[in-house]
Chains A and B, each alone.
Chain A
Amino acid sequence: MNPTEASTRRQIHPPSVTASPFPYHAGSLLSADDLTLDDVSRILTRATALENMDPLVRARMLAKRRVALLFYEASTRTRTSFELAAKGLGADTTLVSSLSSSIEKGETLKDTGLTLRALGAEAIILRHNSSGAPWLLESETRLPVLNAGDGMHEHPTQALLDLRTILAHLKRGTKTLTARTLAGFTITIAGDILHSRVARSNMLLLPRLGARVLLCGPKELLPELAATAGPGIFIERDFDTALRQSQAVMMLRIQAERLAGVQLDLEEYKANYQLTGQRLAAHAPAALVMHPGPIIRGLELTAGVADGPQSVILEQVRNGVAVRMAVVERALTAGTHPGPIKGGRA
């Protein structure tokens, strides 16, 4: 064989036997990719129904069911809204965080998960600093697992609440989602894409509804290959050019805790990528301004923009409770795990 033939792609057909935890529990939500458009429609419809329900009636939906929140990372919005969502449906919740539990003593994720299951948890909401941790927890506990953010990977409920926010403004009254629902719309995600699980979940979900996603940021925080993550994703390095095409712009915080040696000139960053009132007025005077939070005023966006008339940041937070009620309800009513139970007698 000569080297030129080497460029012919080799076909290797491994057997289907793998260590994969699939199929998941039908109530799990690990990745935005796992949801069909019908699933998303159902969740959003249910979110509205639950939101509009009499709180006393709603509190009987999951009365005394047990939901555990397992948080390995700090969180305000996600944790509180998941907790309010579960409690709003009447469920008992318990919070285990890495700083006040046996996790500090070296207990593994597997053992913590099995312990929660033995304590009667029927679903686990997991926030973890390691990408992929929810898959491990799901495969070891066989409980429905809701991914509340895993490392730099995904944050699917954020994508759902962002979608609810976008639809409320751009396509009010949409009942059933299709591959054309957001056709013709462009949504820019700007800032620290590399370290953002919010960006990854949104860039997987939005194009499936027909939206164009523009990623915008400097090379250090937005590698070229980000555009290969899926269809409908494009890179536009010039923020003003991206804004001019966009009906919504999602600003992201620079994740200082994950930078790991990336050198960044903050003044230069602000000059190129900070969302200012001037920039917004000049290039996107009607666009929605979104942010998953926490926001750093004066860095990725100015205080005036955060508090301004185009900002829907607090509306996103409010939508979080409704969407998470639907997702928690789905977790506890979606039947049993298709696979065998592991992990000893409990």
Chain B
Amino acid sequence: MTAIHIRGGRLIDPAAGVDALKDILLKDGRVAEIATPGKIKQANGAEVLNAKGLIVAPGLIDIHVHLREPGQGYKETIASGTAAAAAGGFTAVAAMPNTVPVNDSPEITRWMQAPERGASIRVFPIAAATRGSKGDALNDYAALKSAGAVAVTDDGRPILKDNIMRETLTAAARVGLTVIQHAEDTRLTQGASMNAGPTAFKLGLRGMPAEAESGMVLRDIRLVTELRDARAHLHVAHTSTAAALAAVRQARRNGLRVTCEVAPHHFLLTEEHVGLYNTNAKMNPPLRSASDRDAMIAAILDGVVDAIATDHAPHAVHEKEVEFENAPNGITGLETALGLSLRWLHKEWKLPLGRVLSLLSAQPAALLGLKGRGTLTVGSFADVVIFDPKAEWTYNARHTQSKSRNTPFDGWTMQGKVRWTISEGKIAYTGA
């Protein structure tokens, strides 16, 4: 089957400024036609999807996921992770390089995109900024880019040395790649397993101070300022503190290319959700104070935040069934991002649907320069999510497509049910 005819849906394409009832014809992996309902001729052999009462939007794009391959297939594979992504309405994900071995080469970058991986949606590798993510020697960014890498980062092992970060920003700018920084001054967070504050004190856990994040963001912004002429692009991953957001806001006012993302758990949960050592509420950056959480919501509503990204970080059950301090950081998130965003950002806090969808598609696509994605105009990739915006449902982690189920959102009410996810013209997921 090469053609899909989507009929009667409400097309919301924020990048194109469209919010109207439209029929869409997808052909050969691209958008072939968009027209007022009933105006597209019935194509021979086209599969017809009845989208009456549903929203049709550009497929969602998550620029921060951990697919665990190569090396940790017991947590997740590219196949299982992308299946979970498709179930969550995503048609593209950017995969972090903290695999085993670290993705610091064109070979691994290509391996991750090979058809043999069985991905049901598009995977864009993000390559390591330095060899082995050790923070010492830069990788060959031109070679990584031509192998398909869309950004560079050392993710969980942030680049601490000023000179290396400066070189990274310069070299990445030269080839047009974004530098993503997991902002954490790891010298301030040794042995810590949650946010520093009254909850950590009470639980007897060492805390990560907010300054460990904001200090690193300020340092990086200082470097970007020095490199203003090089037009370096810094992207702050999973922003979690009010102070870091304030720094990003100020950098933008100063005309710098500094962008940021926020994860659903950081705009919904606080350190109190750690409860009595719930390892599914342990991630890095950690759940912060209520005022930090409120700052995330405010910054999403007022437009400082460029993208919602999940930081999907699967871990096997046995890895999380340990002492809180010994449990690995991270939670899954691909299947809950849309449902939580619609339930809270849209329904509760009145962010218009188009803005919510833009944060989950158009803006992340623009941020990483993913051409032909994040929008549905004639000629763009046939990446589409079709969902019922009114459907309420309860997330059950046991039914996940992911290999792991380490989520704090098990049992939460979601708004908006994905009916179809179409990746480059192929149906990647069909919901009930």
Smallest Cβ distance from B281 to chain A, in angstroms?
9
Are B344 and A7 in contact (CB-based, < 8 A)? no
User: B198: which of A9, A19, A229, A261 is its contact (CB, 8 Å)?
Assistant: A229
Smallest Cβ distance from B317 to chain A, in angstroms?
11
Kindly state the separation between the CA atoms of A6 and B292 in the bound complex, as whole angstroms. 10
Instruction: Convert A260-286 into 0s and 1s, putting 1 for each residue whose CB lies closer than 8 angstroms to a CB of B.
Output: 110000000000000000000000000
Select the stretch in A59-67, A127-135, A181-189 that faces chain B.
Answer: A127-135
Are B204 and A131 in contact (CB-based, < 8 A)? yes
Smallest Cβ distance from B157 to chain A, in angstroms?
20
Let me know if B201 is at the binding interface, CB within 8 A.
yes
Kindly state the separation between the CA atoms of A3 and B413 in the bound complex, as whole angstroms. 28
Let me know if A56 is at the binding interface, CB within 8 A.
no
Kindly state the separation between the CA atoms of A297 and B321 in the bound complex, as whole angstroms. 41
> Which chain A residues lie closer than 8 Å to B301 at the CB level?
1
Are B410 and A130 in contact (CB-based, < 8 A)? no
Let me know if A14 is at the binding interface, CB within 8 A.
yes
Kindly state the separation between the CA atoms of A100 and B173 in the bound complex, as whole angstroms. 56
> Which chain B residues lie closer than 8 Å to A21 at the CB level?
276
| Also in contact, A7 and B294, with CB within 8 A (given A19-B278, A132-B276, A133-B323) | yes
> Which chain B residues lie closer than 8 Å to A140 at the CB level?
321
Are A12 and B294 in contact (CB-based, < 8 A)? no
Kindly state the separation between the CA atoms of A1 and B268 in the bound complex, as whole angstroms. 18
Kindly state the separation between the CA atoms of A110 and B326 in the bound complex, as whole angstroms. 13
> For chain A, what secondary structure do more than half of its interface residues adopt (helix, strand, loop), or is it mixed?
loop
Q: Please name the residue on chain B nearest to A227 by beta carbon.
A: B198
Are A9 and B202 in contact (CB-based, < 8 A)? no
Let me know if A105 is at the binding interface, CB within 8 A.
no
Q: Which of B267-318 touch A at CB < 8 Å?
A: 268-269, 273, 275-278, 280, 290-291, 293-295, 297-298, 301-302, 318
Q: Which of A173-204 touch B at CB < 8 Å?
A: 194, 197, 200
Smallest Cβ distance from B345 to chain A, in angstroms?
11
Are B325 and A151 in contact (CB-based, < 8 A)? yes
Task: State which size class the interface on B falls in.
Answer: 35 or more
Let me know if A25 is at the binding interface, CB within 8 A.
no
Instruction: Convert A133-173 into 0s and 1s, putting 1 for each residue whose CB lies closer than 8 angstroms to a CB of B.
Output: 10110001000000000111110000000000000000000
> Which chain B residues lie closer than 8 Å to A9 at the CB level?
290, 294
Are B323 and A6 in contact (CB-based, < 8 A)? no
Task: State which size class the interface on A falls in.
Answer: 35 or more
> Which chain B residues lie closer than 8 Å to A110 at the CB level?
321-322
> Which chain A residues lie closer than 8 Å to B323 at the CB level?
109, 128, 130, 132-133, 136
Are B277 and A131 in contact (CB-based, < 8 A)? yes
Let me know if A346 is at the binding interface, CB within 8 A.
no
User: B204: which of A5, A20, A152, A260 is its contact (CB, 8 Å)?
Assistant: A152
Q: Please name the residue on chain A nearest to B323 by beta carbon.
A: A130
> Which chain B residues lie closer than 8 Å to A197 at the CB level?
204
Q: Which of B155-201 touch A at CB < 8 Å?
A: 190-191, 197-198, 201
Let me know if A344 is at the binding interface, CB within 8 A.
no
List of 5 A-B pairs having minimum Cβ-Cβ separation, nearest first: A17-B411, A153-B204, A6-B298, A132-B277, A152-B204
A residues near B, CB below 8 A?
Answer: 1-3, 5-10, 12, 14-15, 17-22, 108-110, 128, 130-133, 135-136, 140, 150-154, 194, 197, 200, 223, 225-226, 228-229, 260-261
Q: List 29 A-B contacts (CB under 8 A).
A: A1-B298, A3-B298, A3-B302, A5-B298, A6-B294, A6-B295, A7-B291, A8-B294, A10-B294, A10-B297, A12-B269, A15-B413, A17-B412, A18-B278, A109-B322, A128-B323, A131-B277, A132-B203, A132-B204, A132-B205, A135-B277, A151-B204, A152-B205, A152-B206, A194-B201, A225-B198, A228-B198, A229-B202, A260-B191
Besides A1-B301, A12-B269, A109-B323, 5 new A-B residue pairs in contact (Cβ under 8 A), listed by A number: A6-B298, A14-B273, A14-B412, A108-B318, A197-B204
